Amino acid sequence: MAGRFIVVDGVDGAGKSTQIERLSAALTARGERVHVTCEPSGWPIGQLIRRYLRGDLKDGVPGWSSMALLFAADRMQHVEHEIEPHLAAGEVVLCDRYDASSIAYQSAIAPDGADRDALMRWIATVNEPARRPDLVLLLDLDPNVAAARRSQRGGEAELYEKLDLQRRIRAQYEKLGALRPNDRIVRIDASRSIDLIHEEILAVTTEALGLNR
């Protein structure tokens, strides 16, 4: 049987990794073979992007357009060498971030005065060759709450983890449905408890993918 491709996306600290771990365990317990992955990926272009995000590499930090192209290149490599082979093997692939992140983040970091809606359309077009997900779960959370969760989690702040920027990113995510009318995008209220969110995500996933509950 062909595999299923599920993306979990949303602002930094929305709870994506937490929910992917829970969903992976629940699907595995139901007998599905699951492959968990994320973007930026572990492939060479993804590793380069992570060095910029952490601030380890300061030479020629890419702006919104070169970052959008780097993320798109990482995505194509990730799809070709990892996502497609796992789908072809009949597995459920759970991916932490995908082109929704590029559309929301890279349009939000463009300078003031930019036509962000036009930028979103360009980023969506650039990413068209990337395989479409069967389901996109968009974890929606107030950036103030997400920032508090991130500070509890600890670790160094990354390039885009600033409150005003995260607010703009959330607003860009809200416009995603209009840009990707053929994608199945489900907004999840991520302000609730981990258990409640997990229950909803599991219900949406099993229903959308026709998996046995």
List contacts with ligand ADP (CB under 6 A): 12-18, 149-150, 152-153, 193-194, 197
Q: Residue 4 or residue 16: which is nearer to ligand TYD going by CB?
A: 16
Check the CA dihedral 192-171-107-113 and report its sign. negative
98 neighbors 134 (Cβ within 8 angstroms): no
CB of 1 to ligand ADP, least distance (A): 29
CB of 206 to ligand TYD, least distance (A): 25
Give the CA distances from residue 103 to residues 16, 118, 146, 209, 213, in Å, rounded to whole numbers and listed in that order. 17, 11, 20, 25, 33
Half-sphere exposure of 87 (CA within 13 A, CB side): 19
Stretch that binds ligand TYD, among 25-33, 98-106, 112-120, 132-140 (CB under 6 A): 98-106
Which of the listed partners (ligand ADP, ligand TYD, none) does 194 bind, with a CB threshold of 5 to 8 Å by partner kind? ligand ADP
Q: Residue 32 or residue 79: which is nearer to ligand TYD going by CB?
A: 79
CA distance 84 to 34: 13
Please identify which residue in 19, 102, 107, 172 interacts with ligand TYD, judged by CB under 6 A: 102
Taking CB positions, which residue lies at the least distance from ligand TYD? 105
Query: By CB under 6 A, is residue 105 in contact with ligand TYD?
Result: yes
CB of 203 to ligand TYD, least distance (A): 24
Query: By CB under 6 A, is residue 12 in contact with ligand TYD?
Result: yes
- DSSP symbols for 67-134: HHHHHHHHHHHHIIIIIHHHHHTTPEEEEE--HHHIIIIIHHSSPTT--HHHHHHHHHHHTTTSPPPS
Query: By CB under 6 A, is residue 53 in contact with ligand TYD?
Result: yes
CA distance 146 to 28: 28
Whole-number CA gyration radius for the chain: 17
Q: Residue 42 or residue 90: which is nearer to ligand ADP going by CB?
A: 42
150 contacts: CB under 8 Å, gap ≥ 6: 12, 13, 157, 161
Please identify which residue in 160, 186, 187, 200 interacts with ligand TYD, judged by CB under 6 A: 160
Applying CB under 6 A, the residues found at the interface with ligand TYD are 12-13, 16-17, 39-40, 53, 71, 97, 101-102, 105-106, 158, 160
